[in-house]
């Protein structure tokens, strides 16, 4: 089982010793997920935090009108879960679904707790993960406050073009907070100029 990408990923954040790294990696189990398969459903309790080795995922919620709203995408070298469910071990509110045939490395909540209890450095790692998540979501709040639909689209393209080209348009539109029709119009307009 190939954990090299995860290994590199974590060593970029904290200085694990060889033994610390081995223990850390030993808790992760590989899982293959087929396109359109769900790894988290609302009401269930998110058992895993998943590191994407290969493939693409999307987490989303459904509002009372039945409309989907994409919360996050996850491609190679990203993490994905319903964190509110995972961290607090409460019922999930999100769907997390594979957009392609994918491979993830999963740690379950209990193992993560063990790791954090076992050593200072593991706690540090998960603190850094949480800080990044907070920074990411805050950037998105600011982007929603400051930019209009068209600007949000172009900002996303600048930063995450690789994601934009891999996910269905309705998923991207619902991530950016607009309808697929409007996103389509933005795109066709930007081609003409």
**CA of 112: how far to CAs of 87, 88, 116, 135, 177, in Å?**
10, 12, 6, 22, 33
Q: Which stretch binds its own copies (CB under 8 A): 6-14, 44-52, 105-113, 116-124?
A: 116-124
Q: Which residue among 5, 106, 111, 184 contacts DNA (CB under 7 A)?
A: 184
Asked whether position 187 contacts DNA by CB under 7 A, the answer is yes
Return d(Cα 19, Cα 22) in angstroms, integer: 5
**CA of 47: how far to CAs of 25, 68, 101, 144, in Å?**
17, 23, 21, 30
Q: Which residue among 64, 124, 181, 190 contacts DNA (CB under 7 A)?
A: 181
Joined tokens for residue 193 = 């100029």
Q: Which residue among 160, 179, 190, 193 contacts DNA (CB under 7 A)?
A: 179
Shorter beta-carbon distance to DNA: residue 18 or 66? 66
Q: Out of DNA, its own copies, none, which partner does residue 184 contact, by CB within 5 to 8 A per kind?
A: DNA
3-state secondary structure of 62: strand
Q: Give the residue among 139, 148, 160 at the shortest CA–CA distance from 186.
A: 148
Asked whether position 149 contacts DNA by CB under 7 A, the answer is yes
Q: Out of DNA, its own copies, none, which partner does residue 179 contact, by CB within 5 to 8 A per kind?
A: DNA
Q: Which residue among 124, 155, 179, 184 contacts its own copies (CB under 8 A)?
A: 124
Binding mask 13-52 for its own copies (x = CB under 8 A): ----------------------------------------
* C-alpha torsion 156→161→165→169, nearest 10: 0
Asked whether position 169 contacts DNA by CB under 7 A, the answer is yes
Asked whether position 135 contacts its own copies by CB under 8 A, the answer is yes
**Which residues are within 8 A (CB) of 39 and not within 5 positions of it... i.e. 6 or more apart?**
31, 33, 48, 50, 57, 96, 97, 98, 104
* Count of residues near DNA by CB under 7 A: 17
Which residues contact DNA by CB under 7 A?
A: 148-150, 168-170, 177-185, 187-188
């Amino acid at each position: 089982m190939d954990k090299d990408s995860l290994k590199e990923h974590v060593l970029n954040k904290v200085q694990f010793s060889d033994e610390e790294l081995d223990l850390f990696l030993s808790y992760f189990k590989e899982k293959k997920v087929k396109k359109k398969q769900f790894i988290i459903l609302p009401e269930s309790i998110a058992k895993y935090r998943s590191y994407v080795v290969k493939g693409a995922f999307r987490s989303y919620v459904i509002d009372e009108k039945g409309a989907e709203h994409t919360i996050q995408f996850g491609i190679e070298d990203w993490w994905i879960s319903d964190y509110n469910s995972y961290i607090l071990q409460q019922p999930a509110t999100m769907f997390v679904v594979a957009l392609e045939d994918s491979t993830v490395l999963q740690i379950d909540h209990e193992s993560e707790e063990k790791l954090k209890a076992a050593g200072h450095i593991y706690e540090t790692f998960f603190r850094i993960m949480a800080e990044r998540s907070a920074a990411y979501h805050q950037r998105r709040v600011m982007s929603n406050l400051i930019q209009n639909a068209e600007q949000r689209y172009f900002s996303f393209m600048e930063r995450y073009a690789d994601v934009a080209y891999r996910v269905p348009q309705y998923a991207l539109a619902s991530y950016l907070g607009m309808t697929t029709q409007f996103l389509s119009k933005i795109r066709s307009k930007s081609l003409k100029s």
